[in-house]
Structures are given as structure tokens and as C-alpha cells.
Amino acid sequence: MQHTDKNYEIQMNSINEKLIKMGSILEEQFNKALKVLSTRDENLANDIIDTDKQINDLNHDISDTVFQIIAMRQPMADDLRFLFCSIKIIRDLERIGDHLVTVAKKGYRINSSIPPEFIEKLEILGNKASVMTHDALNCLFERKLSQADKIAERDDIIDTLHGEFIKDVLSYMKQNDDYIPDSLSLIQISKGLERVGDRITNIMEEVHFLIEGKYSSE
Amino acid sequence: MVNIITTKNVNVHYGDKKAIDNISLNFLKNNVTALIGPSGCGKSTFLRCLNRMNDVIEICKIEGQICMNNIDIYSNEIEVEQLREKIGMVFQKPNPFPKSIYDNVAYGPRIHGFTDNKEELDEIVNTSLNKAGLFNEVKDRLDDLGTSLSGGQQQRLCIARAIAIKPEVILMDEPCSALDPIATSIIEELITELKKSYTIIIVTHSMQQAARVSDKTAFFHLGNLIEEGDTSKIFTKPDNQKTNDYITGRFG
Ligand SMILES: Nc1ncnc2c1ncn2[C@@H]1O[C@H](COP(=O)(O)OP(=O)(O)OP(=O)(O)O)[C@@H](O)[C@H]1O
Ligand SMILES: [Mg+2]
């Protein structure tokens, strides 16, 4: 059911649309960042860095609109929960953007002599984080917790993969002093992707609150 | 927590028209309960049942049970005057009598035969005005007409008048709708203060007011009670979709 006040309806919808926009930009950023890992394409990396500004702008834009609505409309019930949820998750989305910038900045400079299985493992990790982001945002837009449980499990898988990856890179590093800087970059990339999983877990908590009116841990 | 007023399967008709449809709703002692809902949903009708204000409306028929402190208020043993002593009412428009400020407050205690003693009466008037948060503003002009006060002051005078007869319950039907924001917040603060000694049932069209002052909220729609519960829950995560749609401004 729509709000009787059309302008209110338009304001609320604009937040939803901007969140969708943020989500779709992030999805592209993921694709590009993973491509940077395999191609070491500097132009593409710069493109990611530029595009990140749009995410930051959307973050501020949404936050301004929420602020205005709270001041002018005194929202209640599901509207209030949606605004509260939005204001909290845009920070996480913006940070996911930052993690992908890290992947891009470090990624294009990795030496091509680094064993390809490291890159493959990062791609697997990155794909998992990307799908997780997509699914969490779907829960938000559809107001359904259908995939919520799986998302927490998937964060555990990402943590495990990240842990194993670090071990592998460390032992590689010990035997290949020449590649210490590259190995550190690999670790930072993996760390960035692992942090994405944590951000998504936060987001799912907020989406849970939006839908159920309480946090899943309560 | 005890219920001071309980209602069970209440139906109200005005002639053939059903205004209240089988409502059962209880009111906790020393709580503020807000009745909300779109215009014409039956809030005032229901409120008026609680102190038998509907008795004077000839076409109005009431069925069901309404008890105060476990006594049926519609039973033959109950005298309406006595009931109104226990259940005071404050209306949408401040309606002071065309008498002095003092007499507005003293009127109830006099006709209910509390006292004729001037000193005792002074005491009742002063404490009532004090509790209503009006005393300091009017203490030097108690002989002025009640109608000479500002709207917000008049409404507080009506609250003082209601308090003077030492009721247990105060019914308020949109008490702030004619007041500015400052006068409104004075009344709201007063409501919060008064609930220590009284039980308050308030009808309001302002969601924000209901959210601010009440402990419990009941949502009425087309004569039905759709949902009732803790105010903090009703305004953040109501169970019923209709409640959600009403309080978020999607109809009504
Ligand atoms: N004295 C009356 N005679 C006939 N019908 C009445 C009378 N008083 C109320 N009604 C009808 O009963 C229904 C409920 O009215 P009521 O005044 O209780 O609504 P309300 O919820 O208080 O509305 P509002 O928010 O506009 O004050 C309405 O349809 C109204 O027309
Ligand atoms: Mg009314």
C-alpha cells in the first residue's frame, strides 16, 4: 500500500532506488576487481578507483535524504525500520567499495611470476563475497530472509578460505624472498575480501531487524 | 499490574448503525492508554461508554460488559454521578464554565459534597491547579473568569477540574487538538506526571503524541479493535498490516 502523501512515497522510493543503484555499482566493481586480478589491467584498476566516488556520493545522498525524512515526516513502523536499516547499511556498502579499491590497487601490480593458483584462490574468495553481497541485497529489496541463514554460513567459509590462503602465502614467502612485496599484496587482497564477508554479515543483521523488528541474536 | 477497567464483547449501535463491533479491551492501572484510528472508527464512542456519557444519546445502545475495579458500571446499583466521580473526562475543546477560575475547580467537590469548609476547598483548588501545572500562572487571578485564560491554560483548568473530584481514571478525547506545540508539550508532560496517581485513557489523532505519552496503544478501524499492545511495539513493529499502514500514513 502506498503512502497517502505522494511526496512521502516519492522520497521513500528514492532511497530504495539509490540503494539498488549502490548495489548494482558494487556488483560491477566486484566483476572488475576480479578481472584486475587475472589481467593486471591498470586502466581497469583506475576505473574502479574512479567509480568508487559514485558509491561515496550515494552514501551521502542517501544519508541526507533519510535525515530529511526523519526531520520532516516522523516515520513510524516499517518506514522507520527501513530508514534505520538504510542509514546503517550504507556505511557497510561504502566500506565494501573501499575493500574492492584495495583489491584493484594491489591487484594490478602483482608480479606475473606469482603462481597462478594464488590468483585462482582469490578469485574463488572474491566470487563468494560477490554472490554473498548480491544475496544480502536481495533479502533487503525483497524483504525476505530466505537466504539469510546461508549467508552467515558462507561468511564462515570465507573466513576459513582466507585463513588457509594466508598460510599458503606465508610458506611461499619464506622460500621466495624476491616476492615478499607481492605476497604481502596477496594477503591484503585476501584480507579485503574477508572483510567484505564481515560487512555482509552486519548488513544481514540490519536486514533481519528491518523484517523482523529485532536482531537475529535477540 | 492490575486492570482498572475491563471491557468484554462491547457492541455499540446508534439506531441501526453499528459503531463498535465486539470489542474487548482492558486498561491497566496507572498506565496511559492511547486509542488511535481513522476518523469515525469509534474511538470517542468507545471512550464515552467508559463513563456512560452515551447514556444521554437516545439512539445509542450498548451491549457487553464494562467493569471498573471488577464492578459492572452498567448494573443497576451504580449511580452515574458516582461513576463520573471516579472517571473524569477532558474534552477536545477546553470547556471551562463561565465562572471564576476558582469556582471552575471548586464546582465538582461542592456538588459531590466533598466539603463546604472554605479552607478545605481552598486546599483542594490549590492542589488541583498545582497538579495540573497551572497554579503559578493563575494564583493571583483566581477570581478571573476561566474563559479569560489562553486555550492551553483553559485545557489545564479543565484537567484541574477533573482532578479536583479525585477520580481514579481520566478520559481525554483529543485534549490537545486545539493547542499549539508548547501548550501541547505542557499537557503531555502533565499526562506523564498524572499517571503516577491516575489511569489515563486518551484519544488522539497524533501518532507522535500517542507514541510520546502512552504506555499502551489500541488501534481501532471501522468499529473493530485491530491491534493493541505496548506503544513501543505498535509504533515500531506492529503485528497487523492494517496497523502498520495506518500509522505510516498509508490510509486514514
Ligand atoms: N450521536 C451520534 N448519533 C449517531 N451516530 C453517531 C453519533 N456519534 C457517533 N456516531 C457515529 O458512530 C461512528 C463512530 O463515531 P465516533 O465519534 O466514535 O468516531 P471517532 O473515532 O471518535 O472519530 P473522530 O476521530 O472523527 O472523532 C461514526 O460513524 C459516527 O458517525
Ligand atoms: Mg472522536
Domain that holds residue B21: 3-99+170-247
**DSSP labels for B131-166?**
HTT-HHHHTT-TTSBGGGS-HHHHHHHHHHHHHHT-
| pLDDT > 70 in chain B, percent | 100
Q: Is B23 in the pocket of ligand 1 (CB under 6 A)?
A: no
Ligand 1 atom nearest the C-alpha of B44 is: 22
Task: Check which CATH number belongs to the domain holding A136 and give it.
Answer: 1.20.58.220
Distance CA B53, CA B41 (A): 18
Nearest CA in chain A to B206: A74
For residue B28, give the 3-state DSSP assignment. strand
Q: Is B111 in the pocket of ligand 1 (CB under 6 A)?
A: no
Q: Is residue B15 part of a domain?
A: yes
Given this model, what pLDDT does residue A149 score? 67
Domain that holds residue A66: 6-212
Q: Is residue B117 part of a domain?
A: no
Calculate helix-pair angle for A42-73, A6-39, nearest 10 degrees: 160
Q: Is residue B111 part of a domain?
A: no
Structural domain count, chain B: 1
Contact A216, A208 (CB under 8 A): yes
CA A6, A12, A15, A16 dihedral sign is negative
Q: Is B33 in the pocket of ligand 1 (CB under 6 A)?
A: no
Rounded to an integer, the average pLDDT of B221-243 is 98
Given this model, what pLDDT does residue A47 score? 98
Q: Is residue A183 part of a domain?
A: yes
Structural domain count, chain A: 1
Indicate whether this complex's ipTM tops 0.90. Answer: no
Contact B202, B211 (CB under 8 A): no
- The reply to whether A2 touches chain B by the CB within 8 Å rule is yes
Residue B170 has pLDDT above 70, yes or no: yes
Pick the residue with more confidence: A149 or B79? Answer: B79
Instruction: State the amino acid at position A133 in one-letter form.
Output: T
Q: Is residue B150 part of a domain?
A: no
Strands (E), chain B: 3-14, 17-23, 26-28, 32-36, 60-68, 71-72, 87-90, 169-173, 199-203, 216-221, 224-230
Q: Is residue B147 part of a domain?
A: no
Residue nearest atom 8 of ligand 1, based on CA coordinates: B45
Q: Which residues of B touch A78 (CB under 8 A)?
A: 244, 248
Residues of chain A with pLDDT under 70: 149
Given this model, what pLDDT does residue A67 score? 97
A7: which 3 cell numbers?
511526496
Residues paired with B227 in a beta bridge: B219
Q: What is the DSSP letter of A179?
A: G
Place of cell 584486475: A36
Nearest CA in chain B to A2: B250
Q: Is residue B152 part of a domain?
A: no
Given this model, what pLDDT does residue A41 score? 97
Q: Is residue A44 part of a domain?
A: yes
Q: Is residue B115 part of a domain?
A: no
Read off the pLDDT of residues B184-213 as tens digits, 9 standing for 90 and up: 998 999 999 999 999 999 999 999 999 999
* φ, ψ for residue B143, nearest 5 deg: -90, -10
Given this model, what pLDDT does residue B178 score? 84
Judged by CB atoms closer than 8 Å, whether chains meet at B236 and A214 is answered as: no
Picking from B78, B61, B57, B56, the residue whose alpha carbon sits closest to that of residue B69 is: B78
A10: which 3 cell numbers?
516519492
Q: Which residues of B touch A74 (CB under 8 A)?
A: 207-208
- Shortest Cα distance from B8 to chain A (angstroms)? 29
A79: which 3 cell numbers?
518506514
Tell me how far the alpha carbon of residue B151 lies from the centroid of ligand 1, in angstroms.
Answer: 25
CA A205, A206, A207, A212 dihedral sign is positive
Global pTM? 0.89
Given this model, what pLDDT does residue B199 score? 98
Q: Is residue A218 part of a domain?
A: no
- The reply to whether A1 touches chain B by the CB within 8 Å rule is yes
Which residues are in the CB-under-5-Å shell of ion ligand 2? B 44
**For a pocket test of ligand 1, which of B43, B201, B204 has the largest count of ligand atoms closer than 8 A to its C-beta?**
B43
Distance CA A215, CA B145 (A): 56
Instruction: State the amino acid at position A163 in one-letter form.
Output: G
Residues paired with B182 in a beta bridge: none
> Cα dihedral angle (B88, B89, B94, B98), rounded to 10 degrees?
-50
Task: Look at chain B and count its residues.
Answer: 252
Pick the residue with more confidence: A122 or B180? Answer: A122
Ligand 1 atom nearest the C-alpha of B59 is: 3
Residues paired with B68 in a beta bridge: B5, B71
Distance CA B91, CA B93 (A): 6
Given this model, what pLDDT does residue A12 score? 96
Q: Is residue A217 part of a domain?
A: no
Query: Which of B212, B237, B246, B247 should we substitute to test contact with A (largest number of A Cβ atoms within 10 Å)?
Result: B237
Task: Check which CATH number belongs to the domain holding B68 and give it.
Answer: 3.40.50.300
**DSSP labels for A37-105?**
HHH--HHHHHHHHHHHHHHHHHHHHHHHHHHHHHHHH---HHHHHHHHHHHHHHHHHHHHHHHHHHHHH
Q: Is B44 in the pocket of ligand 1 (CB under 6 A)?
A: yes
Q: Is residue A1 part of a domain?
A: no
Given this model, what pLDDT does residue B40 score? 96
Read off the pLDDT of residues B112-165 as tens digits, 9 standing for 90 and up: 889 889 999 999 999 999 989 999 999 999 999 999 999 999 999 999 999 999
Contact A186, A169 (CB under 8 A): yes
